[in-house]
Structure 1
Amino acid sequence: MSDVLERIDEQVKSHPVIIYMKGTPKLPQCGFSSRAAQALQACGLPFAYVNILSDPEVFQNLPSYANWPTFPQLYINGELVGGCDITLEMYQNGELKPMIEAAHAAQEDKPEES
């Protein structure tokens, strides 16, 4: 199990914005994942995603990674933001886009690892 948790940790830390979802942003496989991905897309900035349905190990172990039992899961700057409801609420009140912009800016400011 530790291998998959290390892989999740690497994904979360190497992308300024990543969503673990059922399906893909273009072909979501559940309504919650669809709405969360739409909110991210509406912000107009790139984000990474992992289709948990195509990776059973991630599907089984992600809930224990950040102690969050449901999907989708949105991470910004390596921190769990939350699921669909929190993502939508942050989008609707104008908090999501500035948070994503700040995450991208912080990623650009990181020194290159050798």
Structure 2
Amino acid sequence: MSDLTAETKTRIDGIVGENDVVLFMKGTPLFPQCGFSNRATSILDHCGVAYESVDVLQDMEIRQGIKAYSDWPTIPQLYVKGEFVGGSDIMMEMFEAGELQQLMDEKQVTKAG
């Protein structure tokens, strides 16, 4: 937890708590900066849900802090209704199995406009 300051934890708590679906990623949905982030945004777009994205490349505290916050070593990271779901590999497995869409439906996530 050494990379997670109280201030950064509070900021991440706020981001995760205020949005149904949050993707911490490298880059933006329009300009992903890595293949895993690109895949993650494509999966969410296919699910047809509204989501917030956080570009960790713009904020080193969040970039390091999110790894400690979730105890997950890689980015991207997906949160649904405040709950950590996983990275792009887990997202892909869940999507292919129909589990990610099911999760979005069960949690009554807002659909993309």
Considering the TM-score relative to the shorter chain, is it more than 0.5? yes
Give the match for residue 22 of structure 2.
18
TM-score, length-scaled by structure 1: 0.87
Unaligned runs of 5+ in 2: none
Q: Does 1:85 align with 2:86?
A: no
TM-score (norm 2): 0.88
Aligned residues: 106
Match of 1:97 in 2: 101
SS of the equivalent of 2:27 reads coil
Kept in 2: contact 1:4–1:58 (CA 8 A): yes
Task: Give the whole-Å Cα distance in 1 for the aligned partners of 2:24 and 2:48.
Answer: 18
Instruction: Give the % identical residues.
Output: 43
1:27 aligns with 2:31: yes
3-state SS in 2 of match to 1:27: coil
The alpha carbon displacement at 1:102 in A equals 3.0
Runs of 4+ in 1 over 3 A off after TM superposition: none
* Gap runs ≥5 in structure 1: 108-114
What secondary structure does 2:93 align onto?
Answer: helix
| Structure 1 match to 2:63 | 59
Match of 1:37 in 2: 41
